Chain A
């Protein structure tokens, strides 16, 4: 039991320790394959492989993985209903899906589109949950020659996302206090809409402050600078890329070899 836990911990560390650019390339290739291969079994594989890697190796709670898939499911559900209700418009998809094992061509195509939305979401979640934004930006600056000004702007924008939730909550406190109403645990649609403009103003203010902070601390447009703790490429990155691409190839071959079964 203890040994299994230690292995999982090592795996979790391993996914996070991988070079973000290696992961980025693998995820882009898998995303491209999901878009191009119109087969429900392939899409299922593209969902299961990253989700199993997250749950087993990254110790991500299955509930978190499921919760992350909710918006993608809603998005995919739109494809499903569109495909079932508007058959004429999805003629190409129906023809493609007509060869799949699912009974009704319209439903089959809808399911494949639904799964494709989930697969794209899961691959993106895999990258987001196993990658430190700071390490990604550093890797891009070192290995992809991203200018530091753009790199740090990108970094600041990524860091802003989690802070928006905290800022929104502070605004909700202030409003609840002034209105005398009890604060609801989750904001309703009306409250959410009313928070958009103040949050946008906060984001603009914050961006301005970050720019001033960076300039005052010496971030120059094109002067040479050191980038500390930049991720380097190691053997394990090569192994990860090879394993991920091999898995993709196997899934692809399985679909090609057995297209109708």
Chain B
């Protein structure tokens, strides 16, 4: 009954031929028409704006759509040369390991050890081999042995994502498909996972959908870009696509690596790197301060300075900070029905301040955020100040309305008149790219759109003097992040305070003049973000990584020293 895990021939690992998907509610196209193939041993990155049908396309691969999720699928899908529809989804598990966008869609709610053993049990492997595989994958992914008996639902969002990835990797299938596998991971864990996803032998095919490109893009053989209408708008090697189609990607609100911006600055200065760069170091490789001509360095310097300036907060960002808005004193924080995870927390958030909250997965950042908002009572200590609004890590937890428009209207202040409410809601939906979705149920939206809806609801109502945004970047496309950054700055200018819990070091550096680093059950550091990001020992201790522009800052220092 079990299928042979070795692919029988050399046809593509996966192939979509003119595939088009429509859900029954609402009756409109959710993905395609798309024709795409993944070769044996090829690593492909699929990019596209939120709602372009990336996740839907992945779900059609083994027949989960339409087998388990009702939808109409036109066109043909082939796996290892075989019509995918000829087998059930479970029968493809030895060939295709799938990591879904939401870790909860990958995990079954068991203990960590059981989650990892489950796919191997389904393949009827001997018990001792299963035990060996489980131990091995835990070590490779970096899961502590103490997690073995913890239920996956008791882990933090990032920890769950790590377990879900381990549970997918343990399948050791010839095709690995991952939908935003590192969205909730701290930089150090994300780097480790990117390496694991792309390290295996030449016969293993990988298809990844991700918005977080740094660290991953080097290992990709080909990238495919979907446009807003769900069709392919660009395809090729990342170096070529990011240089030649940069303007198109930006206009579609699609992520580009940070090196793209530096490449553009250097090109304007007439110092275009000979090979399209995928990292800051690559972009500056032809401008070695010790070897490059002086005049080239002089021409490049303003371009690099402009790039660094765009990546860091301006000095005026920190200047307009007002009086204290919310204070935690000697606070002990514990999640609902859980043990204390943070002790001796002394933290003040000021009016007009954007505070970064950084730390490894499971450090207690979300718990701190809830305590800071006043929603979660402290175990000990005291909180002083106005209540805060929170964008939860999982947007679905937040929805109370039956439609998108109801959701936005429900958060507006009670005293506001109906016309103003409607006008403000319509503007917010347009700003966040959700116009046209007003009458949809919030749960019908894509993951990125759900997050946009939560952020639109919180920012449009302008009710809370303090907003806590828990990993607001996860699942957002570049356009969503640009809107988020603009909205946060607008709130700051109106005297509101915003605490941003994030694993994105580039965003933290660009947006937050001040940050705290959470770890080891306390606040490890509190200070200017730029300064914290230069403390390599602190970053390592907290499982963080330096921002992408760090290489450019080092280059500027070396040039200045020459």
Contacts and interface: CB of A to CB of B under 8 A. Distances in A.
Contact of B410 (A165, A178, A226): A178
Contacts of A178: 400, 410-411
A134 B67 CA distance: 28
Contact of B121 (A155, A180, A210, A228): A228
Contact of B1 (A169, A175, A210, A220): A220
A163 B392 contact: no
Contacts of A220: 1, 88, 90-91, 122
A174 B109 contact: no
Interface string A146-168: 00000010011001101101110
Interface string B120-151: 11111111001100000000000000000001
Interface stretch (A85-93, A108-116, A211-219): A211-219
A218 B122 contact: yes
Instruction: Tell me the interface secondary structure of chain A in the complex.
Output: helix
A188 interface: no
A171 B109 contact: no
Q: Which 7 A-B pairs have CB atoms at the shortest separation, nearest pair first? A: A218-B93, A218-B122, A170-B397, A159-B109, A217-B119, A223-B1, A169-B336
B90 A215 contact: yes
Contacts of B130: 226, 228
A225 B93 CA distance: 13
Contacts of B464: 177
Interface stretch (B98-106, B353-361, B425-433): B98-106
A226 B108 contact: no
Interface of A: 134, 152, 155-156, 159-160, 162-163, 165-167, 169-171, 173-178, 180, 183, 185, 198, 205-206, 208-220, 223-228
Given A134-B111, A174-B397, A223-B1, A217 B118 contact: yes
Chain B, interface residues (CB within 8 Å), range: 35 or more
A167 B397 contact: yes
A228 B131 contact: yes
B124 A223 contact: yes
Most buried by A among B100, B124, B337, B370: B124
A170 B376 CA distance: 10
Contacts of B306: none
Given A180-B463, A218-B119, A213 B107 contact: yes
Contacts of A152: 108
B398 A227 contact: no
B69 interface: yes
B66 interface: no
Interface in B512-557: none
B471 to A, nearest CB: 15
A4 to B, nearest CB: 26
Contact of A217 (B151, B167, B389, B392): B167
Contacts of B120: 226
Contacts of A206: 104, 109
Contacts, number: 140
Contacts of B411: 178
Contacts of A217: 93, 106, 108, 118-119, 122, 167, 171
Contacts of B126: 226
B68 A211 contact: yes
Contacts of B387: 177, 180
Contacts of A159: 109-110, 151, 153
Given A134-B111, A218-B90, A228-B127, A223 B337 contact: no
A131 to B, nearest CB: 14
A156 B337 contact: no
A103 to B, nearest CB: 45
B491 interface: no
B62 interface: yes
B105 A174 contact: no
B68 A209 contact: no
A212 to B, nearest CB: 5
A212 B398 contact: no
B392 A174 contact: yes
Contacts of A175: 400
B110 A134 contact: yes
B147 to A, nearest CB: 15
17 contacts: A155-B110, A156-B109, A159-B109, A166-B153, A169-B337, A170-B392, A174-B398, A183-B375, A212-B68, A213-B107, A217-B122, A218-B91, A220-B90, A224-B2, A224-B124, A227-B121, A228-B114
Contact of A177 (B127, B389, B394, B399): B389
Contacts of B64: 212, 215-216
B68 A215 contact: yes
Given A215-B90, A228-B130, A209 B167 contact: no
B205 interface: no
B213 interface: no
B463 A165 contact: no
Contact of B337 (A165, A176, A177, A228): A165
Contacts of A165: 336-337
Contacts of B469: none
B390 interface: yes
B57 interface: no
Contacts of A225: 121-124
A160 B119 CA distance: 21
A219 B68 contact: no
Contacts of A223: 1-2, 122, 124
Contacts of B114: 134, 228
Contacts of B167: 217
Given A220-B88, A228-B131, 6 more contacts: A171-B397, A173-B375, A173-B390, A212-B105, A226-B121, A228-B121
Interface in B368-427: 370, 373, 375-377, 387, 389-390, 392, 394, 397-400, 410-411
Contacts of A134: 110-111, 114
Nearest to B411: A178
Contacts of B105: 209, 212-213
Given A218-B94, A227-B121, A176 B375 contact: yes
A159 B152 CA distance: 10
A215 B392 contact: no
B400 to A, nearest CB: 6
A167 to B, nearest CB: 7
Nearest to B392: A170
Contacts of A173: 370, 375-376, 390, 392, 397
A176 B67 CA distance: 39
Given A215-B89, A218-B90, A226-B120, A160 B109 contact: yes
Contacts of A214: 108, 118
B477 to A, nearest CB: 24
A21 to B, nearest CB: 19
A225 B118 CA distance: 10
B127 A226 contact: yes
B90 A185 contact: no
A170 B337 CA distance: 12
A212 B105 CA distance: 7
Interface in B163-197: 167, 171
